Amino acid sequence: MNNLLAELAMRARCVALNEGMTPTALECVQLFRSDQPTAITHSIYEPSVCIIAQGQKQARLGDETYIYNPSHYLVASVDLPVRGQVIEASAEQPYLCIRLGLKPHKISEMLVENRQLLRPEKTLKRGLFVSQANYQLLDAVLRLLRLLDTPKDLPILAPLVEREILYRLLQDEQAITLQQTAQTDSHAQQIARVINALKRDYHKNWRIEDLAQLACMSNSALHAHFKTITNMTPLQFQKQLRLQEARRLLFSENLDAATASHRVGYESPSQFNREYHRMFGLPPVRDLARIRNANPELLNA
């Protein structure tokens, strides 16, 4: 296991030469590197599995904290606004993470073809979890990284290894979370539909009744199921999406706070400033200056 992790870190470091996110020749695989512990970053975790080759990170979803390292991996089954922070890294031993995107239809196909992977659990689970890494999973991830050395093999062999990784993930006891999201008309998939709508139209003034109708649920059922999966209410979820997008607009498009707040759906600039300060710790102008003086490439890490 130690030798496997050492090679995994070596290969990740050779690809991720600079801090921040590095794309690869595989669309579903990205590498993230940090040479030092980071401040808290706010980002949307899309459906994915994050495997750490070196270092340690914590992710916060609402009031819950998830810590993962080379012994553990993190899975997000739906889009979730998460506060992340690298807590163990150095120039000599940088934090190195391999992120593999997950597609619900691929999970569904795997479950249809391998019925023994299905679990009878009907109780909804949180859309984010940390689980114990095992040799079989890490070995498959390492073989996927090795394929980057032989681009001609990628079209044939990469899908096979990706499929093996998904198979290993679905064998985990907590994989019921992935199963529920992939099952047609499950409560988890209905909530995922609402999440996608909020993410797509975050600036829209959604009514709970409209979201409940989209999910084919009552208002109370929507609240309960949404809270179970995301650890927040639909409106809290939307607020985090709005504020994260406003922060990106302030930084990338150099907008003033009033314009950015209007673009993301706020009608009151003063309310925007209050909620922005509460979420990021500083008002917009001072927060923007802090980002530019720190590590701007880590803004959405």
Phi, psi of 17 (to 5 degrees): -80, -25
CA nearest 84: which of 50, 111, 126, 133?
A: 50
| Residue that finishes a domain, picked among 196, 218, 235 | 235
- Predicted local distance difference test score (pLDDT) of residue 296: 52
| Residue that finishes a domain, picked among 138, 161, 181 | 181
Alpha-carbon distance 161 to 168, whole Å? 11
Alpha-carbon distance 267 to 258, whole Å? 9
- Predicted local distance difference test score (pLDDT) of residue 294: 66
Are 116 and 135 in the same domain?
yes
For 119-151, the pLDDT digits (tens) are: 777 788 999 999 999 999 999 999 999 999 999
Mean pLDDT, residues 152-158: 96
- Predicted local distance difference test score (pLDDT) of residue 264: 96
Alpha-carbon distance 283 to 290, whole Å? 11
What's the number of CA atoms in the CB half-sphere (13 Å) around residue 154? 14
Q: Is residue 298 scored above 50 in pLDDT?
A: no
Are 22 and 140 in the same domain?
yes
Q: Is residue 111 scored above 70 in pLDDT?
A: yes
**Which domain range does residue 260 map to?**
238-298
Domain count, the chain: 3
Confidence class for position 117, pLDDT limits 50, 70, 90: confident
Kindly report the CATH number assigned to the domain that includes residue 282: 1.10.10.60
Mean pLDDT, residues 274-298: 82
Mean pLDDT across the chain, nearest whole number?
92
Alpha-carbon distance 166 to 269, whole Å? 45
| Residue that finishes a domain, picked among 141, 164, 181 | 181
Are 173 and 106 in the same domain?
yes
For 14-51, the pLDDT digits (tens) are: 999 999 999 999 999 999 999 999 989 999 999 999 99
CA nearest 202: which of 42, 76, 44?
A: 44
Are 172 and 193 in the same domain?
no
Residue 157 CB contacts under 8 Å (≥ 6 apart), including other chains: 147
Q: Is residue 228 scored above 60 in pLDDT?
A: yes
CA nearest 27: which of 141, 149, 152, 155?
A: 155
Phi, psi of 195 (to 5 degrees): -60, -45
- Predicted local distance difference test score (pLDDT) of residue 300: 45
Are 97 and 142 in the same domain?
yes
For 168-194, the pLDDT digits (tens) are: 999 988 888 998 888 877 899 999 999
Mapped onto helix, strand or coil, the DSSP state of residue 269 is helix
Are 42 and 149 in the same domain?
yes
